[in-house]
Structure 1
Amino acid sequence: MPASEVPPGQRTAVDELGHGDPGDPDALPEAVDAVIDRWNPQGGALLRAMAAAGEGSSVDFFAPDDANTTLLRTELARFEPLIELADPAPGSDPAAALIVFDAGSVLGADMFALIDRLRAADQRILLAMNGFHAYQDWRSTRDRNLELLAARGITDLDIVAVSTRLAAAARATDDSALLDRSGVAALHATLAAATAKGPADGAQRRTAVRTRVLADTRARIDEQIAALRSGTDTDRIRAERIGLVAERDGGRQTGLAAVRSQVQLARVDLTTELGAMVRALHTRSRAELDRCDRAELRAYPQRLQQAAGELSVSVDAVIDERVIEAARRIGTAAPTARRRDPAPRVGPDPDKRHRGVEDHLMIALGASAGVGLGRLFVAPLSLVPTLDVASVPVTLLLGAGAAAWVVRARGQLAERNHMAQWVSEALVNVKAQLEQRVAGMLVDIEAELAEHVMRESTARAVAVDRRVAELDALARRLVAERPAQLTACERDIVTLDRL
């Protein structure tokens, strides 16, 4: 197939160099030149470079000392004629100066100082950016460098984009189109044009180069003929079409299955975490109840309601985090707005505790214990006859006080146990409300994520159908054009064979 499109700046030699002298007896016929330019543009540029007149045979080489520069020297050395890349030295008379810089960098002050110095010495300058394969935006970098050069009034310099990695891969796979894309052949042709000494110098070398270019051009044509006859392009299109048809649903089933699995996983994780949060609140409430007096016990339902509100906020935050994680694993956008239910209610306040037999029994036991303690305290008074009668009211007062204290303490303990029982029941109710809250949110989230998946899969399915239609049209066009292409290739072969 004719040389594929190459990055800008790689055909400078083809565009700027004219054909050789028409009076040159070694010049190729115009028909042959046309075939070479069509199939091997870099080879045509090299032939014209060999016929151009220059002033030297070596090139001063300005480049960073790294592996890419070494590989560039190696790749350039594979081309004929061999270009001598010499390190700059005082007193040398090079034909040109080649400045190589990284394809991802913008020209700086040091580089501009070198360019200005070489231009002041009336030295021909060639610029090349190496390694463009590693930078997706290398074209923007190249345009930016050209703008910087133009801003300094330098408009006669172009920048050749080269990739020694692509050149090495092209040689390993014997891919001539990839070799053209690498830009190394274009750079070599430009260097050959700058170092050629004229038609009279090196006639044997020119003949060898011409023979190699013609052989390379014929090999490219033969390669295209073999590809056309074998139907390689059609097979490649058919294989791509089969792969696209297999993905015609746009990943809908896979996406929906991922949504279901992620929502189920989120439900299990959230339920487990919710249970842990409720248990922690229950434990904290029991510890608080142990420290509460009667007034704090009466106000504790409000405190528990506030804690339930804080718990619902924490649950919402956990749900948001889990939804974002699920959306990330599915590969779609997370829902932006969700329903926010009010905080769960702990239920009605606890009923007033009713006094029972235990309370009356505690009164009797408290009075009995109090009388016994009173008699123990006034026992020394009974030894005095005159004070024995006075010890009776004292004993009764102490008994009544002890009974009141026991009854009050037992009542507070009973109130605390009553409140603890109410808290346990209230938290069960709160947990049920929060579980319902989680389940409702997950249902809404599953529906929204499924809608995202359906929308994205539909868009992908439309794109797949469009691509399949393009491939079908391309396959039909290739089949229709194949006879004409084979005829054109055979005609070019005949043109070369006439030499």
Structure 2
Amino acid sequence: MTPPSGLVDPADDVLRRWNPRGWMGLHRPAATGVRVVGVPGSGAGTLAAELRPLGGLDITDDGRAVTLVVFDPSATIGRTELDLVRSAAAESIEVVCALTGIDRFPDWRAVRDADVEILQRHASWLPRVVVLPVSAAAARRARELEGDASEAVRQTLLTASGLVELRDVLAATVRSSHDPRRARAAVVAATRPMIEEEIGRLSAEDEEGGLRAERSRLTAAAPPATSGPDLRRLQVTLLQEVAMRVRAASTAAGEVLETADADAVVTTIDTHVDDLCARLTDETARIAPGTPAPEPTRTARPPQTARSMEDTLTVVFGASAGAGLGRLLLTPFGDLPGWMSLVVAIACAVPAAGWLMRIRRRIAYRDRMRRWIADELATVRAELDTWIRTRIHETELQSTALAVAARDRHATRVRERVAAIDAEITRRRGERRARTAACERDLAALGHIPEPQGAGVRPTG
């Protein structure tokens, strides 16, 4: 039944979209010619040249009515021949196949049977599979014998060539192709495999393979490792350096103490401490730029000590030793007046006591200074050790925070990319399902084609 005026026949729309050549052929006057095609070396040109003299056919390049596809009997057909058959079916109403050159290949029957089986399996959309064996060489000999032999011999040779049967089949096919229903059925038969091929391609299509592989790689990959300075090793190194520098400062201060006063000792200690602080600042700046320099307690002049009981005892011991020395000096002179002995004893005791007191005070001063140097440097070392441990701890906290932030950013990027991949996979699958459903609807529309009403489908004049 013809669709009402103004409405588009769904099947006609499917044919127009999938097989525009075939659809246009249905709406143009039908051709009465036969187009002969074949792969290079198949003998299609020779066969066409022998069909023309037989008459009854219009051998032309326009194959809108019937196409004759020529095969070579030396081997079974392959993908190239199948593609040629498919192309011919899309452009013409009927396809007839011929196997030419059978006179040169005794095993042509096995080749023809194999060709028929291949066509039935891979070109099942053909309304009928016809492979006619012919010999263009035999037809040419028959034509060359015209006038030189009896008509019976020539006709026998011509019939044996198979060209007469091929011409009659082609002529009948051309006549039957004028039937609108047959023409439309042929176009539909050629259009169906196009749609089925597209459905098969969509089913086998795997556009998401690369996306799925990327998704698996992202979800399985470990977060990037954050490589930072070896803070523990640096801490040990700096603490060892502080210990060595403090010992060096103590040695230098002790050497200065032997020949200089307390101010020189203080200057020596401050110089060593300043150098050490500068060294520590340079080392920590490499791992934590902007770290404030250490500020240990500055060294003050050692306090003056008051006279102690030890000084008094030193005077007493010095005076006693001096008196004993005086009596020792008077021994060779024999008896002297008592007042003379007392004067000599006092004269010896006073300088001896003073000298001994000065020596003892000097020794005590150096001892106090050494203890003071040790205490001062111990305080500096403790402060610097605390500063180093504090800086290392703060740097560790900063490094940990940076690592956590980097892992969080990486995890966020991975989640966003995985979400984008999932959305893209869903979109592509949805598009493929929609296209497959559209193809299936087109196939269903081709399965319910209304009967064409006479010349309204295609003028045949």
Structure 2 length as normaliser, TM-score?
Answer: 0.43
Structure 1 length as normaliser, TM-score?
Answer: 0.40
In our comparison, the structure showing a higher alpha carbon Rg is 2
